[in-house]
Amino acid sequence: MKITSGVTLIALATLAAGQSLQRCSGSHTRPNAARMSSAQWQSIATVLRQMNEDGWIARFGQAHDQLFSQVHGNTVFFPFHRRFVLEFENVARTYDPSFVVPYFDATESYRDPASHPLLTAGALGTNGQSTDRCLVNGVQANTQLSYPSSHCLRRNYNNGNSINPWYAPEIITSYIQTSQTLADFRENIEYSIHGAVHLGLAGEMDTGYAAHDFTFHAASCQYRPPVHNSYMTYDGSGPSGPAQLSDAIPSASSIAFNGDRVSSMMVLGYGEVCYNYDTSPAPPSSYPGGAASAPQQNGPAAAAQQPIDNQGQSGGPSNNAAQQPAANQGSRGRPSNTAAPQQQQQQQQPAARPFLPSGSSNLASRVLESTGLSNALGGDVSRFFPSFGSGLFRVHRRGYKEKPATSCGDPIPFPPRLTPEWIAMHKFDPDRVEEFHKNACQIVEVLNNSTYTSPY
């Protein structure tokens, strides 16, 4: 899972000439999972049960496991997970056309993750039970799986019946504001909140086949876009060499992506990427980069750019939905293309300035965060939060209700370390991971030693 965080994944890059896609004529909205009704969760449970009966849950877990080494530890991490979760959603919509994957903002309740409203019996479920740690409640209660061998869907919190604190929203905010390229941002996220959430939930989630757990897909969407049109260069290493926008999204035998390219994953609201988030502005009026753009790859992005959810998704439905066994297809064939492309506008529009680049999906808290950081840190605000320190982002307080003092104000907890087993599983450099952890701890130390009061 990519937490995938409520964090924001911002996509980037000037696209090569001739790569522009047409804008969707319609789209669906991915909601914050914590705001969903019991009826919505019941609908999700029904679809997940049907998908599991038809073997889809195991197939997604198998695909992620088989591709694990190709899609972690390099820049394709973000576009792959966007495409992967989109394919899960596409298949689910053949069972229920109204199905959407909601996003799980892991920075909510980060101090005590087990108290998160999603980790309850009426939503994603609580902790696993008995010695097998089987999940017995939630939308995947009592699910049995066939990959890599027969077993129940498991969850095993990393601190008994509680979960160690995850990364504070302020740390993720700093990552968003200080990362100059997607390779930088990928390391910041993969070495922090991404690993912390996987390890905190464990069970299926700390394995290569974590995609068995629906939390994986919801959390991968968490890198939804509170920040828009940010400028990051698509650089670093790809699965088989220097990262290129023309790289194919890695596919597995059980889940194929029709040869989709990284470049097709980047812009929400274009091509077949016909979805948005409930906190997102409308897609850009014309395709970033446009047909008039000169091909650019690893230089500073010169065109408008769109967020990509960590684990974000894009690209159109592959032929996976058509692979469903004939006996089970019935009316569950591939969904019709209700979001047919419309003619792209030819005139390039200037990029909108992003509003409050932050690691949280809660706008009211982001306002308090930006104000507090700007007022409390002095010179350090430009070091760790340059967007706030520069004065580029104006704070509009009108209409926002402050949180009660009893819900915030405690010192920010220091972030957890990744385990040696997790680091080895990903083939990360332990010294580099430790370097990033020390930087996160330094951010917390600076904040706790200042007059800053966290709204989270």
pLDDT per residue over 344-364, tens digit each? 333 333 333 344 455 565 666
CA 77 to CA 20: how far, in whole Å?
23
Average pLDDT score over the chain: 76
- Bridge partner list, 30: 277
Per-residue pLDDT band for 320 (boundaries 50, 70, 90) equals: low
In the three-class reduction of DSSP (H, G, I as helix; E, B as strand; rest coil), residue 316 is classed as: coil
Q: Are residues 316 and 385 located together in one domain of the fold? A: no
201 is written with which tokens? Answer: 């939930």
CA 241 to CA 247: how far, in whole Å?
10
- The answer to the question of residue 82 being in a domain is yes
**pLDDT at position 334:** 34
User: Per 3-state DSSP, what percentage of the chain is helix, strand, and coil (rounded to 5)?
Assistant: 35, 5, 60
In the three-class reduction of DSSP (H, G, I as helix; E, B as strand; rest coil), residue 101 is classed as: coil
Nearest to 137 by CA among 151, 160, 119: 119
Q: Are residues 197 and 52 located together in one domain of the fold? A: yes
Q: Are residues 313 and 369 located together in one domain of the fold? A: no
> Which of 276, 308, 342 delimits the end of a domain?
342
Per-residue pLDDT band for 308 (boundaries 50, 70, 90) equals: very low
134 DSSP assignment: B
| Top-confidence residue, 257 or 303 | 257
Instruction: Answer yes or no: are the C-beta atoms of 307 and 268 closer than 8 Å.
Output: yes
Per-residue pLDDT band for 216 (boundaries 50, 70, 90) equals: very high
The 10s digit of each residue's pLDDT in 68-124 is 999 999 999 998 999 999 999 999 999 999 999 999 888 888 999 999 999 999 999
381 is written with which tokens? Answer: 């605000």
Instruction: Answer yes or no: are the C-beta atoms of 40 and 46 closer than 8 Å.
Output: no
Average pLDDT over residues 138-155: 98
- The answer to the question of residue 4 being in a domain is no
CA 71 to CA 350: how far, in whole Å?
33
- The answer to the question of residue 353 being in a domain is no
Q: Are residues 207 and 104 located together in one domain of the fold? A: yes
Q: Are residues 310 and 402 located together in one domain of the fold? A: no
**pLDDT at position 20:** 65
Per the structure, the count of domains in the chain is: 2
150 DSSP assignment: S
> Which of 342, 374, 401 delimits the end of a domain?
342
Instruction: Answer yes or no: are the C-beta atoms of 347 and 260 closer than 8 Å.
Output: no
Indicate if the pLDDT at residue 310 is higher than 70. Answer: no
Cα R_g (the chain), whole angstroms? 21
Indicate if the pLDDT at residue 159 is higher than 70. Answer: yes
Maximum alpha-carbon separation in the chain: 66
CATH code of 65's domain: 1.10.1280.10
- The answer to the question of residue 455 being in a domain is no
pTM above 0.75, yes or no: yes
The 10 Å Cβ neighbour count of residue 349 is: 12
- The answer to the question of residue 63 being in a domain is yes
| Top-confidence residue, 293 or 231 | 231
152 — alpha (psi -120 to 50), left (phi > 0) or beta? beta
- The answer to the question of residue 348 being in a domain is no
Average pLDDT over residues 44-50: 98
| Top-confidence residue, 134 or 21 | 134
Residues 6+ apart with CB under 8 A from 391: none
Residue 416 is part of which domain span? 363-448
Q: Are residues 369 and 338 located together in one domain of the fold? A: no
Q: Are residues 368 and 291 located together in one domain of the fold? A: no
| Top-confidence residue, 278 or 200 | 200
- The answer to the question of residue 17 being in a domain is no
